[in-house]
Chain A
Amino acid sequence: MLSLAAQLRLRLLVLVAVSFCLAAWTLWKGETMRAERDVRALLELNYRDVSRGFTDRADYQLVSIARDIAARFGSSGRLATEDAAKICAEEEVAEIYDVDANGVVVGGSRLVGSYMGAGAQSAEFLRLLEPDGPETLSQPDRPRTSDGKVFKYAAARFPDRSGYIEVGWSEERFLRFLRQRAYGYTRSWHIDERGWIAFVDAGGVVTSHADMSLAGKTLQEATGLDPATVPTGTLFRATIAGAPMFCYAGPVRDYLAVLADPVEDAFASRDRFMPRMAAVLLAVFALLFGCVSLMLRHRVAGSVQRIGEALRRIAGGDFGGRADVRSSREFSELSDNINATVAALRAASEDRVRRIEAELELGRTIQRAALPADFPSDDCFRLAASMEAAREVGGDFYDFFPLGETLRAFLVADVSGKGVTGALYMMNAKTLLKDALMADPAHDPAAALTHANAELCARNPAEMFVTAWVGVLDLETGRVAFANAGHNPPLRLREGAEPEWIRGKSGCPLGCFGGVSYKPLETALAPGDALFLYTDGVTEAMNPAGELFGEARLAATLSAAGSREPRALDVAVHAAVASFAADAPRADDITILALEYLAAPDRRLKTFPCDAAAPAASAAFLEETLDAGGCPPKDKARLLVALDEVVSNVVRCSGASGLAVAVRFAREPRGATVSVSDDGTPFDPLRVPPPDTTLAADDRPIGGLGMLLLRKTMDAVSYRYAHGCNILSFRKDFG
């Protein structure tokens, strides 16, 4: 492709060339027409001259005769008829009239005594008698009044007196004169230098020509022109003797005058003038072309190029690029328009990016907000978890929560979808699993998966699924009840042993098939053991070479970590994955949950027979235990009241054979949890509606106040039925 400047220059060149040709042609045409006009005028002028000169000579001849006679007879009186006849013969005239001052013929060939004014033709000569009249007069040949014969007359005044001599030629004499004149009449008549005039008689024979050798030949022979068809009164071209000629023909009396001028001569000035003119034109047009093309390159093509560069930058994504070409109003407007468009584009693009970012951020916020961040750490167990989201919102989640005093639920899951939809599905799955685990009195992970799966399958328009590993750790025993819905197997870490995969599977991922049951599985942790859960973002992290991080590297990393402290494990694995993946883009969320089982709860436990002595005996045990545990007196009083309420209820209502009181202290926040177990009739006292405390004394029923006190004074109260026992627990944080 040619550049715009080159294209413009090419077009300009064509334009200038065409203009030049047009101008040159117009000039040529104009010059030609002017030359033709000139030659036509020249030929017409010559025709008129030759035409007039042909008969003028006859007038001159006849007037000369009249003047001679007038001079000869001016003073001698009347011209006698005999003398007139003699003179007529001498001078070859037909008639002579001697006219006196009164216009009366006083002598001459005939009509002596008659008055000249009687006939119209002869009356014209009376003007010679007027004082300021002409000296001589002649008439063209014409029929005379008296007998209609054609005559030609001329007259001359007497030089010394009034009156005149009139002489006349008969037609025959006049024609003879003309015949003689026609021969060689134009022999020395040249038009310009080489033009000529041919005289042709009625028989088509040339009588006169610049080249008299042609005289006597027919016009056809001499010039190739046919006198019968030759156009008259107009300019025409003909090739005569091999030379192109401008010709003009016209009648002169009975003759035909043919005038010719070589075309070459007629166009001589044009042909001389044109090359010089063309050279000047060429110079002018070349100059014009040079100036305009220079201007084009600087003003137009240069501007277009700069606009083009700006647009290329903008198209390349540089929305900061500006077009700023101010070489003319048009380019200035164009620049402004481009800048305005780019500004609008930039605003729209930024707005779109902002909205996408906002939606991604919303998804991340949902995801993050759903993940608990206050990791428990006490004497029995500690836990750490993390979720590193990929650039897009992922669907990983983890969760952990206590189930009563001694059970700790924890889980890791991976939703198949991403984005806000994935995040919402994850919220749903997480809530379902937690609710199911909490609602189930046995806190069975497999049952929770079965329940959550049924719910997820019932309403799964997005056809998503979620893999999950759910475990419940019993702090008392270290047993972990778990269920695995298609999730990666976790690792158990133990002092002095290689990491061990816990590979049991309970069923397919949640959300795939409704109505399936998940198999309950179990493993055990000894004090000091850790459990490491993760999502496939860890094992499927890819390095730039396309290799996966894999289970072997994970096990090696955990083995080399040198610690089973959950936070340290979490950090070590994240670091190993990051170092392995280097700068390869992260495809998936990386989620980790690690927990370490430290020891069974530090607590005191005492059993009592279920009888009237139980309240006092259990209160004594609690007081002693709380005193040993450093419980403030005020909180001790509240805990003792609470115990009194619970134990008195058990003794009064449960029908149990015995009861157990367990006390466990917590470090952070400092506090004590008391659990009362009995083997009596299953009954949840927390379900009893609280009494109306606004009634007056006389209307007050007795009862229900104990549970009210329990709820109001304790920081947490819970009931469960497990292993054939009612277990009521209440916790008081030391204030």
Chain B
Amino acid sequence: MTTMNIEKKLEGDTLTIALDGRLDTTTSPDLEEVLGASLDAAAALVFDFAKLDYLSSAGLRVLLSAQKRMNAKHGSMKLVHVNDAVKEVFDITGFADFLTVE
């Protein structure tokens, strides 16, 4: 079974979420649930994709939804340690245009 570990860390008003595994149809509801619970407290959101193998369009949906919510409250969102497979998906879908990837 595909699984994903989600590591959540709040420092001040910066929420850092590190993903380990795959962000796909099966795992993205888990991330959605985590975000839904903790995003209200954060002014800045950081995704650490160092251990993320890949993501599918289900994962993109979650990222898009997070970006919209952060935009709505004028917060910031950025992605760090993004690997090539994930970057490729961002490029193909045009997400690279509005996501902040470091």
Q: Which residues of A contact B (CB under 8 A)?
A: 615-617, 619-620, 634, 637-638, 640-641, 644-645, 647-648, 651, 693-698, 700, 702, 705-706, 708-709, 712-713
Contact = CB atoms under 8 A, between A and B. Distances in A.
Given A693-B94, A698-B68, A713-B92, A619 B60 contact: no
24 contacts: A615-B25, A619-B26, A620-B1, A634-B84, A637-B54, A640-B24, A640-B54, A641-B55, A641-B56, A644-B26, A647-B25, A648-B56, A648-B58, A693-B97, A694-B94, A695-B94, A696-B97, A697-B68, A697-B98, A702-B61, A708-B93, A709-B56, A709-B89, A712-B92
Contacts, number: 79
Interface string B35-79: 000000000000000000111111011001101100100000000
B contact patch SS: helix
A209 B47 CA distance: 177
Given A619-B26, A634-B85, A709-B92, A644 B67 contact: no
Interface residues of B, number: 29
Contact of A616 (B2, B57, B71, B85): B2
A638 B24 CA distance: 12
B88 interface: yes
Nearest to A701: B64
Given A648-B25, A696-B97, A706-B56, 15 more contacts: A615-B25, A616-B1, A617-B1, A634-B85, A637-B53, A638-B85, A640-B24, A644-B56, A648-B58, A651-B25, A693-B97, A695-B94, A705-B61, A705-B93, A709-B56
B2 A637 contact: no
Contacts of A637: 53-54, 85
A616 B94 contact: no
Contacts of A641: 24, 54-56, 89
Interface string B79-102: 000001100110011100111000
Contacts of A702: 61, 64-65
Given A637-B53, A638-B85, A698-B71, A619 B24 contact: yes
B79 to A, nearest CB: 13
A706 to B, nearest CB: 4
A696 B98 contact: yes
Nearest to B29: A612
B87 to A, nearest CB: 12
Given A637-B53, A694-B94, A706-B56, A616 B26 contact: yes
A619 B92 contact: no
A645 B2 contact: no
Interface of B: 1-2, 22, 24-26, 53-58, 60-61, 64-65, 67-68, 71, 84-85, 88-89, 92-94, 97-99
A709 B93 contact: yes
Nearest to A642: B56
Contacts of B57: 644-645, 705-706, 709
A644 B93 contact: no
Contacts of B99: 697
A485 B61 CA distance: 54
Contacts of B24: 615, 619, 640-641, 644, 648
A617 B60 CA distance: 21
A708 to B, nearest CB: 6
A439 B47 CA distance: 47
A532 to B, nearest CB: 46
A709 B98 CA distance: 18
A648 B94 CA distance: 21
A638 B22 CA distance: 12
Contacts of B89: 641, 709
A705 B57 CA distance: 6
A638 B53 CA distance: 10
Given A694-B97, A697-B68, A697-B98, A644 B58 contact: yes
Contacts of A644: 24-26, 56-58
Most buried by A among B2, B55, B60: B2
B82 to A, nearest CB: 14
A700 B55 CA distance: 18
Given A615-B25, A641-B54, A647-B25, A708 B92 contact: yes
Nearest to B53: A637
A280 B85 CA distance: 125
A644 B22 CA distance: 11
Nearest to A692: B94
Given A697-B68, A700-B64, A709-B89, A620 B2 contact: yes
A709 B71 CA distance: 25
Contact of B56 (A645, A695, A698): A645
A701 to B, nearest CB: 10
B25 A705 contact: no
Contacts of A648: 24-25, 56, 58
Most buried by A among B22, B25, B26, B98: B25
Contacts of B93: 693, 705, 708-709
